Structure 1
């Protein structure tokens, strides 16, 4: 009887371990974002990445790599923290620290606007703050972007002047931060909705590789655009499929090698395609893969 109970307990424990492994939370690290806006310098990008890290810890079950440790590793490896991290570098960093995904991103819009009017000595002013943040999720094992999306945030405030008394509003750091947090919270929800645990592709994830659709001298056209998370100014590495290494016993493909052809820089990005110029290398062909 005791042996029977022990066997049952062992089976239950084994099942619990298997279930735990099956539902293991994805391990994710967030690097500093690039600041492409006209305000705030590099601190805005770092602040946006810090906000996203906090929201992911609060609102999701993801296993988030600690940011201070990540920055220390980046310093040690001389990889920089400016947000200008390409896909291959992100994959390298991810493998180095033992995570499955790296989040890279850019603050594309961040600032304020003013409007108002009135009469009879009374002026009502409106101050608006806005933020737009783009993120990409890089699969460390495949060095591919598996998720790309945008978050937007806004914050408005009012002020009144009567016969010159009272005043308008200058730059309000608190209101600007609230706009940024709104953009980050929207992105957090989108990341939470992506089917990462199941290895699936949810939200705005794109499973298809980005390919060269046309090559005319140094002018390149890709078969993907902003819908795949591309932005003007990005530099992509172009690769070509090489050898397939197969298991001699089963014939299953164990590994595919890729040859690096060169790099291209995006000059114009539309919804469904992107234009680029050759930055380095030669011999580009239609069907080559851009990462």
Structure 2
């Protein structure tokens, strides 16, 4: 009897693995392999996607936000800032899910008896095709202006296990997957991979910048280091923020007056910090902005 019990457990485990394999979806297409990015990395933040109930609601919004953050980090051209520091990013990406078809087409197959009887229910598979379209806005956080807009559509087809497949012997459900492993999640990831290059193109309209953390006659400390590909010898112009010009009707920031006060050269680099010396002009103040020459 013990042998039969263990044999049954092994069969159930193998069945779970079989269906887990069946629901594994093809990985979304990624950009061609390229050498590690050597340029200065821009800082970006990602706002939570907008997604109405008709396009999946909060589940889609949270899932797409996470996928976009992961894609930007993997890309290597950006430093993604989250939490309280997000307001210090050079730009923020705002996305909207504009189209959502979780089952644009497909077919199904059910298996009765045998394996289905052992699992206490109907075992089955179905083929699904999902489509998602997103719209993105890239906003310069210094000015509040939209510097670029883009859109992308993704699709995914997969063979998935029947959601109703239940193992009544152990009480466990086989086939539960998180957002990314669903057809619509894969379609969303496909759309995001297509949008990353568009985001990079839009960031060309946002000047690279860092901020002075502290400064004295012995050195100028910047809030950018190896994490943003800063290297010794880099020269940066120093700019001091002046008046902030806002629209009196909407409160929108239209521009910030900036005065160039000098230049510094990076002498040493740490993980998230660099130390520079003054090449020209006065010693910077905490909060002064540094821009690549």
TM superposition score normalised by structure 1 = 0.43
Q: Which has the higher relative contact order, 1 or 2, with Cα contacts under 8 A spaced 6 or more apart?
A: 2
- Please identify the structure whose Cα radius of gyration is greater: 2
